[in-house]
Structure 1
Amino acid sequence: MEALTAQSPPWPKGGSRVVIYSHDTFGLGHLRRSRAIANAIVEECPDTSVVIISGSPVIGNFEFGSGVDYIRIPGVTKLPDGDYRSLNLNVELDEAVGFREALILQAVKSFRPDVFIVDKEPTGFRGEVIPALEYLQRAGCRLVLGIRDVMDEPALLVPEWERKEARQALIRYYDEVWVYGLKDVYEPLAALNLPPEIEQRITYTGYLRREVPATPSLVRYPKITKQPFILVTTGGGGDGDDLIDWVISAYEADQSPEMPAVILFGPFVNRDQRRSFMERISRQPKLDAMSFDTKIEHLMEKATAIVAMGGYNTFCEILSFDKRALIVPRTRPRLEQHIRAVEAERLGLVSMLSDYTEARTPERMASALRNLSTQPRPSEVTVPGLLDGLDRVQERLKALTQPRAYMPASEAAE
């Protein structure tokens, strides 16, 4: 695929239309990535309209740029055993998926996008996006699969994609694949043995740079944030209990870290677990906590260092705000975070602490927190194109939205 040059034609006038599908069955990752891309698109071209289709129950808490709106489809949630159920509706999962599928198809038929970007899952949740792909392909819409830098270890990714028939869908439907990372860091689809013509459709964009929102956060920050502090964040918080417990235990140890810390729970933390954590935090003068901040970028910019599980969005923010960071990756049910942390530490961008091979003791965490103050910043490492992700996305959108015929709905339905 040829990169755009300085002589490339400008973004076409007339108001292009983009739909981003983000299934969001768990956490905030897909939604926050889709939001960053949507806002970057309308910032580059104000007459573009972007609709995000998402099942996230908290999508309404976020601000979007002018020209961006969203459709909230009924949510589903992941159970402890790995299965799923309808989040709010009292219906069987199959019926909920059928309802979501119908809403997605009707949305794209009505909005008639020029480009349809599917986040991570080529077939959507349980195949729900396939009818929309079929319709849009016939209608002449350009179809893009956007995936993060790391999906999972090959031993799990390959059988998962075969079970979902995702590889076949990628080959059949998608005009382009955007990997929101760098090939020199990781190749998330390398194990799938894709045909050469499909490999040529892949663009490694670099990571998606984040900016501090123009408007201030309405959340009241603890007094600790008026001095150098460590921000501890687990994203949505639904699977961050172990990290929070480990950090608190470090401050409960005899040789606790000198720098205080603020723990950001996230909207999906278990209420009973949060109450237990707050009881322990209240006894530590160097600790405080917050529930949730949709404009976490403000807090990250204020922080001296960051401790996180290393999900994709948090990693982008660590790079964007040039923060010293300790990554404590989760290893279940996926090794995605662990793989990213290993590669980032190899490049010297972060340090990593894992319970994958060593004991999870308070002393290990306390020592790692103390070492943060002397750790190099990401900017001290030169990685070409590291944060060019949004620029590359804007370039590819320009190429894909050049004037072209859009098939009438009556013909596309045939």
Structure 2
Amino acid sequence: MRIAMYWHNGRSLGHTAESAKVAHGLVDSGEEMHISGLTGAWRGLDLLPAGMDVVKLPAFTNYDNASGWGTTGRTAMAAGPLFRLRSELSEVFLRHYAPDVFLVNHLPRGAEDELVPALTATRGAGERRVLTLRGVLFDAEKTDREYFSEDSARWIDRHFDAIHVHTHPEVFRLEDHYGVPHYLRDRIHYTGYLVDEFQLGRDAARASLGVDDAERLVLASMGGGQGAMGLWTALIDALAEQRTGFDRVRLVTGPYLEAADARTLRARAAELPWLEVVAYEPAMMTWMAAADLFIGAAGANMLSEVLAVGCNSIVIPRQVRESEQRIHARLLADRGLVRMCDLPDVLAGAIGPTLAEALREPLAPKAGHLLGGARRYAALLRGEGA
């Protein structure tokens, strides 16, 4: 089976990590799979399976600011020419690669409609197209406008054979929150969260990392980390006030944190003997299992890893212009699987009571039945259960 996977770019590692989990599930199925990625992402590609090829589109940057996205090309190209170039490259690659399955992550038309020429071209014989969604998309008004208005839904209807949703229906169903038209409902399949239950417990994780059994360890990560400096400053201040509750904080900035902010954080850590700052951690789930408390962004990928590890966590919805993380985190918090502290509260210095409670009364969530989506993918693409 020849598979092409598109994910647009992203401001963080979430879409790359999500696509990587699907790719690993396919590779690990034992079937003969040839997988190529099509993406503008330039960080986190080491998460992909070793045998997976990547067709790299010229990347863009944008920022989740209240004033707008500010999209620019990393090659100093204006957005218009950049996306025309990306669109042409995508169409040429897909025409010659001729995949049996084309998985399109999150954006049915691609970023800035860049997949429209490829998707409106004549399909190859037997080619299947699958739209993959993280589950919670945006607030209901924006989601219905961008996905399920008549024009948007009919686009999905014409160009996709299936919709795979990477959450468990016990937590979230598109049909319950959005205006999904009847003609799309039978194409939806809920895979469950992509990850499997993590196999290392606290003691084994600490042994593998060389962490002393008695050390009280806090781990913090904001995903890719773009634009997270204000959050890091507030969080470090709050942790300093809870200093008696832990021995060490390992702070993972993420590879997209701006260079000047990374230097500022390292300088701050040099003054605080309990604070350790690293840019990137490929063994994140092992560190999550080893930690007494994990503090993380409430992105869909990170939430799935929290559930897989079953760790004591505080999650922070850090989006400014969108509400997806807040909605998803609240659904899990209401089930007692995570603690949530909203971004305005963190920035206002109000996370202290939540930190104290999490250190004093750790959660130990059990969510194994919600997991395992990636290992089901090969069967789904064969049409079994889709």
Question: In the aligned structure 2, how far is the partner of 1:353 from the partner of 1:167?
Answer: 34
Contact 1:143/1:174 (CA < 8 Å) preserved in 2?
yes
1:73 aligns with 2:57: yes
One-letter identity of the residue aligned with 1:40: G
CA displacement 1:83-128 (0-9 Å, x = unmatched): 4544332332111111111111111122211111000001000111
Query: Structure 1 CA distance, aligned partners of 2:280 and 2:240?
Result: 24
Distance 1:76 1:164 in 2: 30
Cα offsets for 1:8-35 (capped at 9, x unmatched)? xxxxxxxx11111000142111111101
**Gaps in structure 1 of 5+ consecutive residues:** 1-15, 214-220, 403-414
- Conserved 8 A contact 2:231-2:346: no
Q: 1:253 to 1:147 in 2, by over 3 A?
A: same
State the secondary structure of the residue aligned to 2:95. helix
2:3 is matched with 18
2:203 alignment partner in structure 1? none
1:234 equivalenced with 2:222 (yes/no)? yes
Say if 1:337 and 1:104 are closer, same or farther in 2 by CA, change over 3 A. same
- Partner of residue 194 from structure 1, selected from 175, 180, 184: 180
For the 8 Å contact 1:257–1:366, the answer to whether it is kept is no
Give the alignment partner of residue 375 of structure 1, picking from 359, 362, 373.
362
Structure 1 residues 291 and 111: CA distance shift in structure 2, 3 A: same
User: Would the alpha carbon gap of residues 339 and 228 (structure 1) be closer, same or farther in structure 2, given more than 3 Å must change?
Assistant: same
Aligned to 1:48: 33
* Cα deviation, residue 56, structure 1: 0.6
User: Offset of 1:41 from its aligned partner?
Assistant: 0.1
Q: Which residue of 1 aligns with 2:378?
A: 394
Residue 182 (str. 1) matches residue 205 (str. 2): no
What are the within-5 Å matches in structure 2 for residues 85-234 of structure 1? 85-135=71-121, 137=123, 139-161=125-147, 166-188=152-174, 190=176, 192-209=178-195, 227-234=215-222
Tell me, yes or no, if the aligned pair for 1:211 and 1:297 is still in contact at 8 Å.
no
SS at match of 1:143: strand
C-alpha root-mean-square deviation of aligned residues, in Å?
3.0
**1:371-395, CA deviations, whole angstroms, 9 ceiling, x for partnerless residues?**
224222111xxx5730031233232
Paired residue for 2:22? 37
Q: Whole-Å Cα distance in 2 between the matches of residues 137 and 225 of structure 1? A: 57
SS in 2 for 1:385: helix
Shift of residue 129 of structure 1?
A: 0.9
Q: Distance in 2 between matches of 1:165 and 1:236?
A: 33
Question: 2 CA distance for matches of 1:51 and 1:77?
Answer: 23
Match of 1:271 among 259, 273, 279: 259
Instruction: Identify if the C-alpha distance between structure 1 residues 350 and 59 changes in structure 2 by more than 3 Å, giving closer, same or farther.
Output: closer
Query: Please, what TM-score do these two structures have when normalized by structure 1?
Result: 0.82
**CA offset digits 1:151-201 (Å, max 9, x no partner):** 111123233447995333212211100110022312346555333231010
Change (3 A) 1:345 1:269: same
Pairs aligned (count): 375
Secondary structure, aligned partner of 2:28: helix
- TM-score relative to the length of structure 2: 0.87
Q: Which residue of 2 aligns with 1:298?
A: 286
Report the 3-state secondary structure (helix = DSSP H, G, I; strand = E; otherwise coil) of the residue aligned with 2:121: helix
Cα separation, 2, equivalents of 1:168 and 1:271: 43
State the distance in 1 between where 2:8 and 2:138 align: 18
Alignment CA distance shift 1:239-1:257 (3 Å) = farther
After TM superposition, the structure 1 stretch with the greater mean CA deviation from structure 2, 66-75 or 36-45, is: 66-75
Which string of whole-angstrom CA distances, capped at 9 and with x for unpartnered residues, describes residues 214-263 of structure 1?
xxxxxxx8989993311100000003234312220113337653342111
SS at match of 1:207: coil
